[in-house]
Amino acid sequence: MRKNISLALVLASAVALAPFAIASAQDGGWQGHGHGHGGAAFAMYSKLNLTDAQKANIKQIMQNAFAQTKTQRQNLRQQREAFEQMAPNASGYQAAASALAQAEGAAAQARVQQRAAIRAQIYTLLTPAQQSQLASLKAERMARHQQWEQFKATHPAPGSSTAQ
């Protein structure tokens, strides 16, 4: 089971990073693919034949968004590290766990809202043709995802059982 999960993660990573590798191999590619895990969420834009001006604007939007949340990310990391260093029998351990859970929840909410704001800003930069192409790319991605889910349902991993 662990092998299958690892294999699935490797394959998913390869699929997510393929557009960057292809774009880089073709013509130097677009280098404004964002930071951290969020970069993969915006990979479809590299397939839209963006103008240099659009690329620059998108890069600026991404850099601004990253800079705006830097302090929040640093504070959250420090809070996680402090919690991880606490012993489970230390006084205040449960309170620290609760505070970390609230901070993580607030950070997740902020990330979702920020990602939506970024997507909205980028969408306004696209031409109607690019917006249509983006919708097609999303539909294709959803279709591939559904095919994968159907495949997994009809081809269970060896050694795994659904009845426990």
Query: How much of the chain, in percent, has pLDDT values that exceed 70?
Result: 71
Whole-number pLDDT of residue 34 = 44
Confidence at 147, pLDDT banded by 50, 70, 90: very high
Question: Residue 2: which residues within 8 A CB-CB, separation 6 or more?
Answer: none
Higher per-residue pLDDT: 4 or 78 = 78
Mean pLDDT rounded to a whole number for the chain: 78
* Per-residue model confidence as pLDDT tens digits over 66-119: 998 899 899 999 999 999 999 999 888 999 999 999 999 999 999 999 999 999
pLDDT at 151 over 70: yes
pLDDT at 162 over 60: no
pLDDT at 1 over 60: no
Q: Over the chain, what HEC string results? A: CHHHHHHHHHHHHHHHHHHHHHHHHHHCCCCCCCCCCHHHHCHHHHHCCCCHHHHHHHHHHHHHHHHHCHHHHHHHHHHHHHHHHCCCCCCCHHHHHHHHHHHHHHHHHHHHHHHHHHHHHHHHHCCHHHHHHHHHHHHHHHHHHHHHHHHHHHCCCCCCCCCC
Whole-number pLDDT of residue 64 = 92
Whole-number pLDDT of residue 25 = 41
Spatial separation of the C-alpha atoms in residues 35 and 65, rounded to whole Å: 10
Confidence at 44, pLDDT banded by 50, 70, 90: confident
